[in-house]
Amino acid sequence: MISGNVLHEVRRILRSFPVASCLLDREPRYIAANQRYSEIFRKDLDHIIGSPMANISPPRFIQNVHRDFRIFDAGASVPDHEVELDDRKYLVSVGSIASEQTGGIIAISVALTDITRLKRVEHELEEANRSLSRALYKITEIAETDQLTGLHNRHAFEMYLMKEIARIKRTRTPVSAILIDVDLFKAYNDLYGHVQGDDCLRAVATAIRQGTRRIGDFSARYGGEEFVVILPDTDLPGAVATAQRIQEAIAACAIRHDGSPFQSLSVSIGVFCLPLMPAPLDIKSIRELILTGADRALYHAKQNGRNTIHIADMEGF
């Protein structure tokens, strides 16, 4: 039991508390409370003090109080937690009062801080952050996407390639590059107009997507009618197989091209594989090595009559 003097002092202190507060014994029964607490439960203060908790609070609150006594009896502390009552949210802080004679827990204090507005603001901030994240993602996506073909643009390709080289430089794994050039595209534009020319480039981009099957494969519009594909962790046979799939997908489109000796749209493809990352070279030098190799292969594909795949090896690098 709490002595009368102590109880009087506790009740005086509770009256000055800026948040709703009460004191409960083990029954549990209210032995003290303040005006703010009575306002939450819409009961007169005189009706609350001395009443069993069951007459005032919901059953779940009573279960919490029994739980809190068990926690204090075990020598632990009750962490602050949140509860909801009448569509308002409260932060609950619980303390213990021990007997001077036995040291046992004889009462607990409960303070309820209304955090409804705070939680609403937190929710609004979370929603704002999610909206901002979506907007930033969309802006980034737009900034890194070629608007005509839907593939990555040159800027995105350059950023990706540098990061990928840094990764495979550490892992010492192969990387392959494919450069694709639409054969006689200027003649196509002159014959059919730029609108159909744009449709043609979109069809090539679709074929490239069909040919690059793995999640890690990266394709971009390199510029004009040129496209580039980077295949991480891919050896030369794997790169050639990808190039063949792309070439077959473009041929399957059967786009007429009267300005071509093949009478249909075709592409020249250069393939280069760096089987083992040269450790002494820096990232920029490796980038030049990969792109120069693929460009050299593409040059030979075009020199050899177009509509073909040419492979560049490491000889001469």
Sheet holding 88-98, edge to edge: 30-33, 20-25, 105-114, 88-98, 81-85
CA–CA dist 161, 223 (Å, integer): 16
Distance CA 24, CA 35 (A): 16
Q: Where are the alpha helices (DSSP H) in the chain?
A: 4-16, 35-41, 45-48, 59-73, 116-143, 154-171, 185-192, 194-211, 236-253, 283-303
**Through-space distance between the first and last CA atoms of the chain, rounded to whole angstroms:** 91
Closest CA to 258 of 203, 190, 305: 190
Q: Is 288 a catalytic residue?
A: no
Catalytic member of 82, 141, 225, 248: 225
Nearest Cα neighbor of 185 from 204, 208, 210, 206 is 204
Q: Are 30 and 44 in contact (CB under 8 A)?
A: no
Q: How far apart are CA 310 and CA 39, in angstroms?
A: 83
Q: Which residues contact 49 (CB under 8 A, 6 or more apart)?
A: 11, 30, 31, 32, 33
Instruction: Indicate which residues carry an active-site annotation.
Output: 225
